[in-house]
Amino acid sequence: MRLRLTPRDTSFFDLLAASAAHLVTGANLLGELLGADRKSRKEIAGRIGEAEHLADDATHTIMRRLDQTFVTPFDRDDIYNLASALDDCMDFMEEAADLIVLYKIDELPARVADQVQVLQRAAELTADAMPRLRAMSNLSEYWVEVNRLENQADKIHRKLLAQLFDEISDPIELMKIKEVVEKLEDAADAFEKVANTVETIALKES
């Protein structure tokens, strides 16, 4: 760990942790939405939208703090990239939920639930890891596991696409479900980007 002789604004750690906590809320609500009927889905999607707004607020707070802070706890570009990647995770989950409601999709393939379970686990790991940035300790298991989860998500995604093209003859219905599936895959990729950014930060600070 490099010796620092200048004071640092440590509020960034709390802000990043708060941002990651919203991801757990969003991912769990997404799982709840899949098991709900169409009427209930609209209300749940609204709650996901609220979580997304809170996540946006957390991101904007981090960006404002970056502009106002001279000495940051680690590279300011890395803080920016980490905050942006956390925001992307929530955005993609919120978009998937919104599409399910807007497209009035009655039934989704079972493997979509597998996608969401991966996101729920990635969100939990991410929320658990963010507070550990303060000491830069015990983080390697986090990024290794999230990368493993993203590989799992890729396999689920490929199988889902094959299933969709094999089983859905209506091109409009195929397009609707495929777009939801792609947004969930984008969310998994975003979680991996968060983990990769954390790895970069940890390596720089070691």
pLDDT tier at 5, thresholds 50, 70, 90? very low
Q: How far apart (Å, rounded) are the C-alpha atoms in residues 60 and 83?
A: 9
Residue 173 has pLDDT above 70, yes or no: yes
Model confidence pLDDT, tens digit, residues 97-147: 999 999 999 889 999 999 999 999 999 999 999 999 988 888 999 999 999
Report pLDDT for 4: 43
pLDDT tier at 6, thresholds 50, 70, 90? very low
Of the two residues 168 and 70, the one the predictor is more confident about is 168
- Domain 11-205 superfamily per CATH: Phosphate transport system protein phou homolog 2; domain 2 (1.20.58.220)
Sequence-distant (≥ 6) Cβ neighbours of residue 137 within 8 angstroms: none
Yes or no: say if 22 and 90 are a contact pair by the CB < 8 Å rule: yes
Sequence-distant (≥ 6) Cβ neighbours of residue 177 within 8 angstroms: 105, 108, 109, 112, 164, 168
Q: What are phi and psi of 104, to 5 degrees?
A: 55, 50
Give the mean pLDDT of the chain: 91
94-97 contact pairs (CB < 8 A, 24+): 94/26, 94/48, 94/49, 94/51, 94/52, 95/183, 96/30, 96/180, 96/183, 96/184, 96/187, 97/29, 97/30, 97/33, 97/44, 97/45, 97/48, 97/49
Candidate from 6-15, 122-131, 150-159 with smallest mean pLDDT: 6-15
Instruction: Answer whether 0.95 is exceeded by the pTM.
Output: no
Helix, strand, coil: what percent of the chain each, to 5? 85, 0, 15
Name the residue ranges covered by the structural domains of the chain.
11-205
Report pLDDT for 96: 97
Amino acid 148 reads R
Q: How far apart (Å, rounded) are the C-alpha atoms in residues 88 and 81?
A: 10
Sequence-distant (≥ 6) Cβ neighbours of residue 205 within 8 angstroms: 1, 2, 74, 136
Report pLDDT for 39: 85
Model confidence pLDDT, tens digit, residues 57-99: 999 999 998 888 777 777 888 999 999 999 999 999 999 999 9
